[in-house]
Chain A
Amino acid sequence: MENKIKEIINIVLEKNNKETVKELNKELSLRDDLGMDSLDLAELTVRIEDEFGVDIFEDGIVDKVGEIIEKISKR
């Protein structure tokens, strides 16, 4: 699952000319460390929902990679 999440994050980053990640560190902030803006986050959440059927932003604000993994594991 974590590999798939990394792949999705990298699709969003690469397509929008941002630096991709090699390792998926749970402490990484989507906004601060990966430089995602609101459109990137919106794309990410739709792609994750398509893959895992989970709306990661459903109940509020998500910012750390670890929070995404936790949301998907809980489904």
Chain B
Amino acid sequence: MELFFHYRDKDITYEELIEDINKTKEIEKYIYEQDPYEILKKLIISIINGNQITLLDSDFSVEEIKKLGVSEVELEKSYENKEKVENMDDLFGKIEKNKDIWELTLYTSGTTGRPKKVIHKLDTVARSVKKSEEFKDNVWGFAYNPTHFAGLQVFFQAFLNRNPMIYIFDENRKEIEGKLKKYNVTHISATPTFYRTIIPYIKSPIESIQRITTGGEKYDEALENTLKKSFPNAKIRNVYASTEAGSLFSAKGEIFKISDRIKDKIRIDENNELLIHKSLLGQSETFKLENDWYKTGDIVQKIDEDHFKFVSRKSEMINIGGYKVNPHEVETEIKKIENVLDALVFGRKNKITGNILAAQISLKENVNTKEMEQKIVNQLRNKLQEWKIPRIISFVDQIKLTRTGKKVRK
């Protein structure tokens, strides 16, 4: 029987997946779980039962979950697994039957401090999935967090084509080359940061890879050239996707094409901001629409009617290796720490993760700055995900403000 999922040193076949599904009596309404296989199994169970579930990052702190507005009582709720699955055809039949009732809630970093809640149906979360006979022999390297939108895209693409997934996201980097070769992985989708992290461990070219997909960060030509050496047979593609709308465009190099399929649902306004029609979005109460159009905050340059490239982000969100951080959220947490007067959080550019977080902090008088730095980092570790913690902290007498009283974010 074909392989479904490989992680750590376990191989789970599609047959074993079905057995595990049938053995599961209930699943939580809020999936807050570390084991990637368990996350995917529960996700599948929720679809065949037509449940409404929420995926939470396993590294969310208790504080962060509280901020989402999810109570402890809610976290404890579960659904009964009422379905028994006979085989893969039966499984896909049940998915087809329930796909319009099923709802998946994800949280994405919001621009106002509180993460945005976005509700997806299978249609939006798997819109970019291509299902066809020609994909039946694909083998996927799974290189995203499975609770994140990009991870779900990889999952549905692989799963709906009954492909094996080889989990390499937070596995030992020294073992990744061996795993890709052993399982003859053909497709990988990952952030530029992930590729930069694994490339030093790839000692000889991996011939089996046919396609490398990347996205979520600015296009990097040097990286593309490095990738070609490690994966000599791969076509390299860049995609634009967002938690709000899923995967929308793809590019060879840095120029994105707007496909005919979505042409009338994409606009570039007079300020060169990319707009997406609401029919392409998941549901959320927090989306700000203007006459049915969603403003992405991405400033683009139009090449011709069907092509554009990215110029910059309008919003203040800082991209750390593909994760978007809202500086206001981090500033709020820093300012709660004793003896801190004010804080300014901004990105520092680098070639590894695009940006890392830096902070300028002003303290009450007579506080030892060396001790404070460690204290701030330690306190933030209990409250925020790793990439939201400033790496470079400097102490200043006063945070600079603009003439209108806003902080000068560099």
**Which A residues are closer than 8 A to B by beta carbons?**
15, 31-32, 37-39, 41-43, 45-47, 49, 55, 57-61, 63
Contact of A46 among B321, B386, B392 (CB under 8 A): B392
CB distance from B112 to the nearest CB of A (A): 25
* A39 near B356: Cβ-Cβ < 8 Å: yes
* B336-395 contacts to A (CB < 8 Å): 348, 350-353, 356, 358, 373-374, 377, 386-387, 391-392
Q: Closest approach, in angstroms, between the C-beta of B152 and any C-beta of chain A? A: 22
> Which of B6-14, B143-151, B181-189, B193-201 lines the interface with chain A?
B193-201
CA distance A47 to B358 in the complex (A): 11
Closest 7 CB pairs of A and B: A57-B351, A43-B391, A42-B352, A42-B353, A42-B356, A42-B350, A63-B200
Is B392 in contact with A61, judged by CB distance below 8 angstroms?
Answer: no
Q: Decide: A41 and B174 in contact? CB cutoff 8 A.
A: no
What residues of A have a CB within 8 angstroms of the CB of B201 in the complex?
31
Give the Cβ gap from B151 to chain A, nearest Cβ, in Å.
17
CB distance from A11 to the nearest CB of B (A): 10
Q: Are A46 and B173 in contact (CB under 8 A)?
A: no
Q: For the complex, give the distance between the alpha carbons of A37 and B172 in Å.
A: 11
Pick the contact of A38: B197, B222, B377 (CB < 8 A).
Answer: B197
Pair B350/A57 contact, Cβ less than 8 Å? yes
B391→A42 contact, CB < 8 A: yes
Contact present for A61 and B321 (CB under 8 Å): no
A39 touches B392 (CB 8 A): no
Chain B residue nearest in CB terms to A56: B351
Q: Are B222 and A45 in contact (CB under 8 A)?
A: no
Residue contact B391 to A58, C-beta cutoff 8 Å: no
Complex-state Cα separation, A58 to B197, whole angstroms: 15
When chains A and B are docked, how far (Å) is the Cα of A39 from the Cα of B392?
11
Give B contacts to A, CB under 8 Å: 173-174, 193, 196-197, 199-201, 222, 226, 320-321, 348, 350-353, 356, 358, 373-374, 377, 386-387, 391-392
Cα separation A31 to B193 with both chains bound (whole Å): 14
Specify which of A15, A38, A57 lies most central, judged by the most chain B CB atoms within 10 Å of its CB: A38
Using CB atoms, name the residue of chain B closest to A45: B350
Please name the residue on chain A nearest to B393 by beta carbon.
A15
Instruction: Give the distance in Å from the alpha carbon of A45 to the alpha carbon of B193 in the complex.
Output: 14
**Contact of B386 with A39 in the complex, beta carbons under 8 Å:** yes
Give Cα A46–Cα B353 distance, bound, in whole angstroms.
Answer: 11
Question: Could you name 19 residue pairs across A and B whose Cβ atoms are closer than 8 Å?
Answer: A31-B200, A31-B201, A38-B353, A39-B320, A39-B353, A39-B386, A41-B352, A42-B350, A42-B352, A42-B353, A43-B392, A46-B348, A49-B350, A57-B351, A58-B351, A61-B196, A61-B199, A61-B200, A61-B226
| A55 CB to nearest B CB, Å | 7
Closest to A47 in B: B392
Q: How far is A75 from B328 in the complex, measured between Cα atoms in Å?
A: 37
A59 to B222, CA, bound (A): 7
- With a cutoff of 8 Å between Cβ atoms, the chain A residues found around residue B222 in the complex are 59-60
What CA separation (Å) do A63 and B392 show in the bound complex?
21
Of all chain A residues, which has the CB nearest B381? A17
Q: Which residues does chain B contribute within 8 Å of A15, judged by CB atoms?
A: 373-374, 377
The answer to whether B353 touches A60 (Cβ under 8 A) is no
Task: Across the interface, name the chain B residue whose C-beta is closest to A55.
Answer: B351
B386: A residues at CB distance < 8 A: 39
> How far does the alpha carbon of A70 sit from the alpha carbon of B199 in the complex, in Å?
21
